[in-house]
Amino acid sequence: MQPEVSQPVTAAPAAVNPFQARFEALRQHAPVLRREEVGGRRARLQKLYNWLHANRRAIHEALNADFRKPAAETDMTEIWTSLVELKHTMKHLKQWMAPRPVGTSMALLGTRSWVQIEPKGVVLIISPWNYPLYLAVGPLISAIAAGNAVLIKPAEQTPATSALLERMCQELYRPEEVTLVQGDKEVATDLLKLPWDHIFFTGSPEVGKIVMRAAAQHLSGLTLELGGKNPAVVDDTANLRDAAEKIVWGKFLNNGQTCVAPDYLLVQESVQPELLRELSAAIQRAYNPNGEGIQHSESLARIVNQHHFSRLAGLLEDAQTRGATVVAGGTVDASQNYIEPTLLTNVPAGARILEEEIFGPLLPVLTFKTLSETTEYVNARLKPLAQYVFTNSTENRRYLLANISAGGAGINETVLHFAHPELPTGGVGNSGLGKAHGHSGFLAFSNEKGVMRQRVGFTGIKAMYPPYTPKVRKLIELLVKYL
Pairing of strands 100-102, 342-345: unpaired
Q: Which of 85, 259, 278, 357 is catalytic?
A: 259
Beta bridge partners of 390: 234
Beta bridge partners of 326: 344
Half-sphere exposure in the Cβ direction for 55 (13 Å, CA):
21
> What gap in Å lies between CA 331 and CA 323, rounded to an integer?
17
Q: Which of 225, 245, 278, 340 is catalytic?
A: 225
259 given a catalytic annotation: yes
Report the catalytic residues: 225, 259
